Amino acid sequence: MVVTHPVSGKQISIGVSFPYVERLKPTLELLETDGCDFVVAPIVHTRYAAALKGGKSPFLDAKSTDALQPLCRSESELTSKEWKTAIIGRVSPWLRLDSPIDKVRQFSEWSLDREVSFANYLSMQAIVIDIPDANAVTISNFARVVCCTLNRYPFMQILIKVGLGSLTLPGSAAGSTVDGSRESNDSQDMVAESELEHASSAWLKWEFVRSFSGNHPNLGLMLEMSSELPTKAVLERWLAEFVYVFLINKNAFVPNKLGYPVLSKRHQDFLKAMFKYQPLFCISDEPNVKIDKDGGANKLYVQYLAHLFGKQPPEGDAEQIREIFHDYLQPLGKPFRTNLEAQRFDFQEADAVKFGKYADAIKLYLSEHRAADQTVMVIVVLGGGRGGMVRVVNECLTEYERKAKIIVLERNSNTLVSLQNMKVELGWTNVNIVYGDPRDWESAVRVDLVVSEMIGAMGDNEMLPEYVEGISRYFKEDTVVIPSNITTYVAPITSPKLYSEVCLIGDEGVSAFDCPYVVAMHRALQIAAVQACFDFSLPNLADASTGLTMSQSEQTQCVEFGVLESTRLHGFGAYFEARLYKDIGISTVPGTHTHGMHSWLSVLFPLRSAPLLPAESICQAQFWRRQDGDKVWYEWSLLSPVVLPVQNANGSAFSVSI
């Protein structure tokens, strides 16, 4: 039974992991009555564990295959569809791929290949391999074997089983809530250094295997949550990883006052965070906790997970719209060289929050600029698109009973058709549409107000500063531009998913890593707080002391971030805050993001080499916005803790023509 959210309609699947299954068919039928969809079970019989001690192969040493015990159950026990959809195979946990003893290691490698080959033959959706209990330095052979297996079986999803790691706070035990569930004491921050390292070692081992395998797209995680949890920072690091199966050990549950299994608040919080990524959820059938209530052995656990999932608040309209762009890389827009597609305008015109903020800014401006002689104002809409912002301006003028001449500057020949039709259908006699490059516009009148939504995901990548500068010769001393100020922010990002996506992009002679991308970051983690980068004042005012106006096209900024936990740096996310007028603004910055606004996604500046940042280190990077009179481009580089070459030097891979 697939669990369906009562409001959003989203679904999750829940299964059970067994250390041993005697008969699969009856087990599946029984679990179906408990509400489960799949089983994680050993691929081969556990009798072969004894072979490792004897140092001989149970498969090859017999003179005749008739003398051998069956490797595992018969494939005829299940249908092909059931093998493919209802079974995840678990590789024998007794294999010692990291053993220093050659004979043991070689036998383990041979046995692993035999098991994976059989799972591949049955078309199982995935197999699980336990990560060794050793330091990353000693699991290089394990990582090599995993890498070779991924390449040998290109259609097999391989999952590495890793525990979250635990962190026991010194001098304390887990407390209890009023309903009997555990609740850890987050206020105790003084943790022994060795324990902190132990909590991080699980991720470091996984990171070693993933990196050793070249971030292979078929390598994923079975992540196990047990009774103890590490710190919040360590937990959050897992959210950026590809968790295919989220395994919940029964020892993570405790009975409440009524005897039903529940999770502590910290366990619930992390589980709810995992709901966002919709992995397969799995109960580990380990007899660590006994729940003395009626029902199947796993039914109460499944019902509890379904209950928590059903209580999740549904996503807002903005997030639902953004979902189709999750971790989908799009080239940063080039407004001077390309006409935006109709789908882009559909996406932006559905943003009622954005238009509402612009309307508030325009109304505030109109309320503060009432001409005594009722002269006709001149308003320029930079980038009219299909008329959404023109409609907002006209509605504000009507509400405030103001007369204005609206000049729409638009260079997209396709949206020009929509603009012209809207002007006729709505009777916009005060609207004059000018087709062409705005910088070539010739005007006989001075401008009172400029309104533009050509901000771009970066804040300046649609060249609004250059547009405004190009028409500034027609400004008055008190001309206002909405937005009046734009600040770009950046933050370090870890995301194996996005890094892999960049790797898959065809270069066509240029490096995919030297191009910035627009993306709705989903399976990504912001490592540190955002820092301000570029800043633009619109219009660009003269310096009060010198009377000179300096170009804003070229800027540079060095940014510094504090890194708490060791993690892999895959790039930088870029966002913006725009002050529209006075105290009215919009933001895409995490933490201050304008609620419900979806017009702009974030920008990814990938790093060609993804360094491992040490815990409690300083990450320093430099960003440049450059121009040569013909084009504008961005350059970026890491300065600390390692120095990396400048990316996109001289706009070699990405630039915007001006």
Strand partners of residue 158: 127, 219
Options 109, 115, 228, 453, the catalytic residue: 453
Judge contact between 112 and 143, C-beta under 8 A: no
DSSP code of residue 46 = G
Residue 401 marked as a ligand binder:
no
- Which residue do the tokens 């301000």 mark? 532
Cα(136)–Cα(124) distance, integer angstroms: 29
DSSP code of residue 596 = T
Using the Cα atoms of residue 275, residue 156, residue 56 and residue 75 in order, give the sign of their dihedral: positive
SS3 for 604-639, per residue?
A: EEECCCCCEECCCEEEEEEEEEEECCCEEEEEEEEE
462 classed as catalytic: yes
DSSP code of residue 15 = E
CATH-assigned architecture of domain 3-314: Alpha-Beta Barrel (3.20)
Out of 57-66, 169-178, 328-337, give the one with best mean pLDDT: 328-337
| Closest to 41 measured CA to CA, from 96, 99, 82, 98 | 82
Ramachandran class of 68: left when φ > 0, alpha when ψ lies in -120 to 50, beta otherwise: beta
368 classed as catalytic: no
Judged by DSSP in three states, 572 sits in strand
Report the percent of the chain where pLDDT is more than 90.
60
Burial class (CB in 10 A: 0-12, 13-18, 19+), 523: middle
Report the percent of the chain where pLDDT is more than 70.
83
User: Which tens digit of pLDDT belongs to each residue from 533-579?
Assistant: 999 999 976 544 444 455 788 999 999 999 999 999 999 999 999 99
pLDDT score of 546 = 45
pLDDT score of 71 = 60
The CA angle 430-436-437, to the nearest 5 degrees, is 115
Options 462, 466, 565, 577, the catalytic residue: 462
Cα(542)–Cα(475) distance, integer angstroms: 13
- Pick the more confident residue, 197 or 222: 222
| Residues in Cβ contact with 409 at an 8 Å cutoff, skipping those fewer than 6 apart | 380, 381, 382, 383, 384, 434, 436, 438, 441, 471
User: Which tens digit of pLDDT belongs to each residue from 230-284?
Assistant: 989 889 999 999 999 999 999 999 999 998 999 999 999 999 999 999 999 999 9
Q: What is the CATH number of domain 486-657?
A: 2.70.160.11
Cα(499)–Cα(567) distance, integer angstroms: 14
For residue 345, pLDDT over 80 is answered with: no
- Mark 534-545 as b/e (b = at least 16 C-beta within 10 Å): bebebbbeeeee
Same fold, 3-314 and 342-482: no
Using the Cα atoms of residue 312, residue 318, residue 321 and residue 327 in order, give the sign of their dihedral: negative
Query: What are the phi and psi torsion angles at 556 (to 5°)?
Result: -145, 150
pLDDT score of 327 = 94
CATH topology of domain 342-482: Rossmann fold (3.40.50)
Domain coordinates of the chain in residue numbers? 3-314, 342-482, 486-657
| Cα separations in angstroms, 341 against 338, 345, 626 | 9, 7, 27
User: Which tens digit of pLDDT belongs to each residue from 123-147?
Assistant: 999 999 999 876 545 789 999 999 9
User: Which tens digit of pLDDT belongs to each residue from 596-633?
Assistant: 999 999 999 999 999 999 999 999 999 999 998 889 99
The CA angle 233-238-240, to the nearest 5 degrees, is 110
pLDDT score of 334 = 55
Q: Mean pLDDT over residues 515-539, rounded?
A: 95
